[in-house]
Amino acid sequence: MTRVAAQTVPEAPRPGMFSNARVHGDQFFLSGMHAGGPDGPVGGADAYAQAREAFRRVRALTEACGATVDDILVLRVYLTDIADRALVGRARSEVFAGDFPCSTLIEVSALVEPGLKVEIEAQGVVGSHSRT
């Protein structure tokens, strides 16, 4: 199993706690990506802006794994307010087209940092889209 990083995606604040992405064979696994930054969430309190940043990070890590977003087979989306699902859906539609990944949307009471509204976890198979 190989640990993967992307220059444009912040690493875990405490090294050794977890990996942002791992590849095992042709499978890739991404930890939950959010819009957290040293000065608070990218996009402030705007759920759409936070979702766009989380999806940007998902895309960057997916590509660092040698895949494309079309190779993502499963998404798990965590929201602190289910009423934001349309805003997250809007950001999602800017990333995916055609055959969409399987997905779960879950409302949670809080995320790892204050002010975060959305976190997105993904997994897939490198090159799976080109095989269909």
Short-list 121, 24, 13, CA closest to 65: 24
pLDDT tens track for 22-65: 999 999 999 999 999 989 999 999 999 999 999 999 999 999 99
Confidence band for 132, pLDDT divided at 50, 70 and 90:
low
DSSP state of 12: P
pLDDT at 4 over 80: yes
- What pLDDT, on the 0 to 100 scale, is given for residue 17? 78
Region 74-103: mean pLDDT is 95
- What pLDDT, on the 0 to 100 scale, is given for residue 1? 83
CA separation for the pair 31, 26 (Å, rounded): 17
pLDDT tens track for 62-84: 999 999 999 999 999 999 999 99
b/e map 26-49, b = 16+ CB within 10 Å: ebbbbbbbbbbeeeebbbeebbbb
- What pLDDT, on the 0 to 100 scale, is given for residue 87? 98
- What pLDDT, on the 0 to 100 scale, is given for residue 131? 62
Give pTM, 2 decimals.
0.94
Alpha helices in 1-132 (DSSP H): 47-64, 85-93, 128-131
- What pLDDT, on the 0 to 100 scale, is given for residue 18? 87
Q: How far is CA 108 from CA 29, 78, 82, 119, in A?
A: 21, 6, 9, 10
| CA 34 distance to own-chain centroid | 7
- What pLDDT, on the 0 to 100 scale, is given for residue 111? 96
